[in-house]
Amino acid sequence: MDVIFQRIATEFATDVTDAFMKSLMDGIIARRQDIDSIIIKAAPDWPLDKISIIDRNILRIGLYELLFADRSEVPAKVAINEAIELAKTYGGEKSSKFVNGVLGSVYKELGEPGKEEVSKKKKHIDLPYEQMPIEKLVGSVVYAEHEGVMYLALVHDVFGHWTLSKGKLEAGTEIKEGTVSKIKQEIGLDIVVEDELSMNEYVASHPEKGKIRKQVSYFLGHAEYKPIVLEKTGGLDKAEWFQLKDIAELNFYNDIIPIVTKALGILHSRTAKKSE
């Protein structure tokens, strides 16, 4: 669990928030049985194992802050609002409504404490989207050929999605050189960077700067077909080679699908030309 925490903290936060995040994680783990029993009671029509893993963990965070955290740091109403925002950002179409319903019912049972309070932990003002600081990352759709069959190397995260290997582009590093380095570091494959595929962007939170834009430049990269060695830093729990015919059955994040689709189009086009 500490390994997973370290990877998530590295990507989505800074040292300033490590202590808070670690305390929150440890508290949730210690109270998990109590929290889960509350979820079961507050959402009787939804068996715990039928709630998506993202929604389930957002509820755990929200309920822990609502019931067990220091209210001078995180007022009850703020805990609910922040959980709803997490659901909007990382959950499905109906996640925020579901999270709001469960936490709202618990909040009412508590007598709606601290209705007018504000959070003391949020000391920054989020900038407009156009003014947000930008952090550059690089990633790749990695492919290989083995015995006449084409494969893609994909990584799987702890939230249940298959996705693409990526990493932070170090300052002063050329983008393709950085891509080669990060893929080697994360999955142990030496790639030759070929086509530029797309630039993907998402917003993350920084404790001092507020919202920041993370821009990931993705490339198509060729590698030798050999065992993948996944970096042991948490966040990702496995990595595998997949034949192209099996890709459509995998669970991807919505913003990754167009990138993989473009890569498949390039590879299919090349295969067609070879067969002419």
Long-range contacts of 73-77 (CB under 8 A, 24+ apart): 73/119, 73/120, 73/121, 74/119, 74/121, 75/114, 75/117, 75/118, 75/119, 76/107, 76/110, 76/112, 76/113, 76/114, 76/117, 77/107, 77/114, 77/115, 77/117
CATH number of the domain enclosing 217? 3.90.79.10
67 or 220: which leads in pLDDT: 220
Who's near 244: CB < 8 A, 6+ residues apart? 150, 151, 152, 264, 267, 268
Structural domain contains residue 231:
yes
Share of the chain above pLDDT 90, in %: 42
Looking at the fold, whether 140 and 260 belong to one and the same domain comes out as yes
Distance CA 131, CA 129 (A): 5
Kindly tell me if the per-residue pLDDT of 250 is higher than 80: yes
When pLDDT is averaged across residues 231-243 and rounded to a whole number, the result is: 82
| Domain-located, residue 52 | yes
* Residue 253 domain flag: yes
Residue 205 φ/ψ, nearest 5 degrees: -105, 135
**Residue 264, pLDDT score:** 95
> In which element (H, E) is residue 271 found?
helix 257-275
Residue showing tokens 């993948």? 228
Is the overall model pTM greater than 0.75, yes or no? no
pLDDT category of residue 45 using cuts at 50, 70 and 90:
confident
Residue 163 identity (one-letter amino acid): T
Q: Are 233 and 3 in contact (CB under 8 A)?
A: yes
Residue 204 lies inside a defined structural domain of this protein: yes
User: Residue 88 corresponds to which amino acid?
Assistant: K
Q: Are residues 105 and 147 in the same domain?
A: no
| Chain segment 136-189, per-residue pLDDT in tens | 999 999 999 999 999 999 998 766 789 999 999 998 999 999 999 999 999 999
Angle at 140 (CA atoms; ends 238, 248), nearest 5 degrees: 65
* CATH code of 70's domain: 1.10.940.10
Residue 122 lies in a domain: no
| Spatial separation of the C-alpha atoms in residues 17 and 59, rounded to whole Å | 21
The domain containing residue 150 runs over which residues?
129-275
Is residue 114 domain-resident? Answer: no
